Amino acid sequence: AQKVTQAQTEISVVEKEDVTLDCVYETRDTTYYLFWYKQPPSGELVFLIRRNSFDEQNEISGRYSWNFQKSTSSFNFTITASQVVDSAVYFCALSEGLNAGNNRKLIWGLGTSLAVNP
Amino acid sequence: DAGITQSPRYKITETGRQVTLMCHQTWSHSYMFWYRQDLGHGLRLIYYSAAADITDKGEVPDGYVVSRSKTENFPLTLESATRSQTSVYFCASHSGPTPKETQYFGPGTRLLVL
């Protein structure tokens, strides 16, 4: 069965530290997509990145980077030189593959709450 | 540029009352979803819809009813609200049936059932 595990419930760092948020997934599909969302204290859910199962290249966007490793079924998210504005809950999610047909749903991790302290 | 909107943003109601949460999207997305978010449970899917007049249950559908008469609207009704339905409710949408589709979320509705 598909599953997403974010083992870190809460992380606290001091500003300018680098921090990595872990995401481990389980799926039997060969075609799947992984997502990261950010939920700041204001409450909205903001899409950050989508990665497909055939593309293992790391992705970098400013201070954010993502490391996708199929061998370990992980899709980890690193924030470099963290800032207070990065404080949020971060969710990792897995999209069921082609076998899902019309039942297109996301499998969500429980989220990691990141606190960046000044 | 409206995207996906939810109303009301905040609602207080009493046990036993019927409550309807509205969701409207301007993208003509086929798929729409309702989630609830509770501490310790993350996001849980209540109902989803693949198109107008096509709806299906998610993980936690009990006590909720949905309809989708128009592509752009996906209201969620609590027929007889209970305290356990106090939560933050998110509506989301995406355009197609493939796994690559990104779900985009509304701002959420905070519901308190007294």
The string of DSSP letters for B25-90 reads: ESS--SEEEEEEEETTTEEEEEEEEEETTEEEE-S--TTEEE--SSTTB--EEESS--GGG-EEEE
Report the residue of chain B nearest A90, measured CA to CA.
B42
Of A31, A45, A50, the CB nearest to B105: A45
Report the pLDDT value the prediction gives residue A71, as an integer from 0 to 100.
Answer: 92
Average pLDDT over every residue of B26-43 = 91
Residue B60: pLDDT over 70? yes
- Calculate what percentage of chain A has a pLDDT beyond 90: 72
Q: So what's the pLDDT on residue A54?
A: 87
pLDDT beyond 60 at A103: no
Q: Would you list the DSSP string of A53-95?
A: TT----EEETTEEEEEEGGGTEEEEEESS--GGG-EEEEEEEE
Residues in B whose CB is inside 8 Å of some CB of A read 31, 33, 40-43, 45, 48, 50, 54, 56, 58, 88, 90, 92, 94, 97-105, 107-108
Chain B residues with CB under 8 Å of A32 CB are: 99
C-alpha–C-alpha distance, residues A34 and B47, integer Å: 21
Taking an 8 Å cut-off on Cβ atoms, the answer to whether B41 and A110 are in contact is yes
pLDDT at res. A2: 84
pLDDT, tens only, A16-67: 999 999 999 999 888 888 999 999 999 999 999 999 888 888 888 999 999 9
A76 within 8 A of A22, measured Cβ to Cβ:
yes
| pLDDT attached to residue B24 | 97
Q: Tell me what the mean pLDDT of segment B36-47 comes to.
A: 91
In this prediction, residue A98 has a pLDDT band, given cuts at 50, 70 and 90, of low
How does residue B1 score in pLDDT terms, banded at 50, 70 and 90? low
Choose among A29, A47, A100: nearest Cβ to B104.
A47
Contact B108 A44 (CB under 8 A): yes
CB atoms within 10 A of CB A60: 11
Is residue B4 scored above 90 in pLDDT? yes
Q: Which residues of A touch B104 (CB under 8 A)?
A: 47
Q: Considering only A5-14, A60-69, A90-99, which range has the smallest mean pLDDT? A: A90-99
Among A47, A106, A108, the residue to mutate for chain B (most B Cβ within 10 A): A106
Interface contact B42-A31, CB threshold 8 A: no
